């Protein structure tokens, strides 16, 4: 992601088709942090959220991830949008290598931003770190782009449920960002554990989802806003939006990556889309 929102000097926003059995025997090779390069175009709903600043209007840089949830809407983290006025956004779809033109990617502009009313940019641990981006033209299926499925309202995954985080974030503490999309399996840490004092304590709300915390695997800066992908009932669902972690040591033991829990915001997502141009 692009900037860390610092809280208590340590809390910061952190901005292939895997087979079912691979969920339980993921081989780690040192990337997301602790993961590896994804098979190109295996996560077809993953987008790169990119920004152009007024002083350099022709140049767009990756700041966050996001999820295409309808032909006109992308879901991301609210903290990804805390930037100076005058900036413009676009999303890259069908992307894998940010530094190369593969012929699979295309770009759509953002014509409206809807940030959850509960979001407080001065208190990321307060929750509601979710936003929707309305695209200026519909996304098209070119074989490399697909919609991400949302979970049912209120769905809670059990402790240790295997999910995948994907993103172009940094691959080591203090290291550089990835050019190619990375993935790593993160097991869910249930709220009862994650909210213990030696984990995230009161900073972990029940509208959040924790995953990881083994000291090896984590999301980190550049991954913010991107999806936590979980295989359930024979299909992939996006259960989380990357929100925050311990900065810059994102893979700290008992400090799992914290996500906005999508199932807590399903009503808000659908009503926002329905009341602002439809699905």
Q: How far is residue 110 from each of residues 75, 113, 121, 132, 198, measured CA to CA in Å?
A: 12, 7, 21, 10, 40
Residues labelled catalytic: 79, 129, 224
- Classify residue 262 by burial, with Cβ atoms within 10 Å: 0-12, 13-18, 19+: buried
Match 């009161």 to its residue by tokens.
Answer: 202
Count how many Cα atoms sit within 13 Å of the Cα of residue 146 in the half-sphere of its side chain. Answer: 14
Q: Which residues pair with 241 in a beta bridge?
A: 227, 260
- Those residues with Cβ within 8 angstroms of residue 201's Cβ, 6 or more apart along the chain or in another chain: 195
CB 61 within 8 A of CB 51: yes
């Amino acid at each position: 992601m692009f900037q860390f929102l610092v809280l208590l000097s340590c809390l910061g926003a952190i901005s292939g088709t895997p087979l079912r059995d691979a969920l339980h025997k993921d081989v780690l090779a040192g990337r997301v942090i602790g993961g590896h390069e994804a098979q190109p175009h295996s996560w077809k709903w993953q987008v790169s959220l990119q920004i152009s600043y007024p002083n350099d209007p022709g140049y767009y840089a990756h700041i966050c991830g996001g999820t295409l949830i309808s032909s006109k809407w992308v879901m991301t983290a609210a903290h990804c949008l805390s930037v100076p006025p005058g900036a413009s956004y676009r999303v890259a779809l069908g992307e894998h290598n940010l530094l190369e033109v593969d012929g699979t990617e295309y770009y759509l502009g953002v014509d409206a931003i809807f940030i959850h009313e509960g979001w407080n940019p001065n208190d990321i641990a307060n929750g509601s770190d979710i936003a929707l981006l309305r695209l200026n033209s519909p996304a098209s299926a070119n074989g490399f782009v697909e919609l991400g499925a949302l979970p049912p309202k209120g769905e809670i995954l059990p402790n240790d449920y295997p999910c995948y985080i994907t993103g172009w974030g940094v691959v080591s503490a203090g290291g550089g960002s990835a050019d190619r999309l990375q993935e790593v399996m993160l097991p869910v840490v249930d709220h009862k554990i994650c909210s213990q004092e030696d984990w995230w304590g009161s900073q972990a709300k029940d509208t959040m989802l924790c995953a990881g915390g083994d000291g090896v695997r984590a999301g980190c800066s550049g991954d913010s806003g991107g999806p936590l992908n979980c295989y359930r009932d024979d299909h992939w669902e996006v259960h989380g939006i990357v929100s925050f972690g311990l900065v810059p040591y994102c893979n700290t033991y008992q400090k799992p990556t914290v996500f906005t829990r999508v199932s807590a915001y399903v009503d808000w997502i659908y009503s926002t889309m329905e009341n602002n141009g439809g699905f």
